[in-house]
Amino acid sequence: MNAKSEVASTGRDTAKLLVAVFLLIGGIALFYLFEEYSLLLRVLGLLAITGGAIAVALQSVPGRNVWDFAVAARTEVRKVVWPSRQETIQTTLIVFAMVLLIGIVLWLFDMMLMAIVRSITG
């Protein structure tokens, strides 16, 4: 948990986020508008505009909150103890065996119910 105090979002933050959104929309529009230029140049331009939009968005409180969340999530993922290859294979085989077993049980139950319905309906 973070002990940081929450800072309320202001009208400036909303304006910054709107500028970032308009930058992205403008970048996408320019990407398709300058269709006669090479794809590489258009993609590089779009990436530059996207980077600028991200930089503007990170200047706002919600943008910093998203960035802090991403950093915290990355830290938590690094703490995870991932299973070894052998554990993964064993778990996968157990799942396959259980699916097969439950499938057979349900198939037998279905056949039994079908036999009961046939005997009742004639």
Task: List pLDDT tens digits, range 6-18.
Answer: 556 688 999 999 9
68: CB partners within 8 A, 6+ apart = 2
**CB distance 47 to 84 below 8 Å:** no
What is the CB neighbour count within 10 angstroms for residue 53? 20
Check: pTM over 0.75? Answer yes or no: no
Residue 42 neighbours by CB under 8 Å, 6+ apart:
30, 31, 34, 35
Distance CA(63)–CA(55), nearest Å, equals 9
- Encoded tokens for 45: 């331009």
Tokens coding 48: 């530059």
What are the tens digits of pLDDT across the range 21-37?
A: 999 999 999 999 999 99
State whether residue 42 is helix, strand or coil. helix
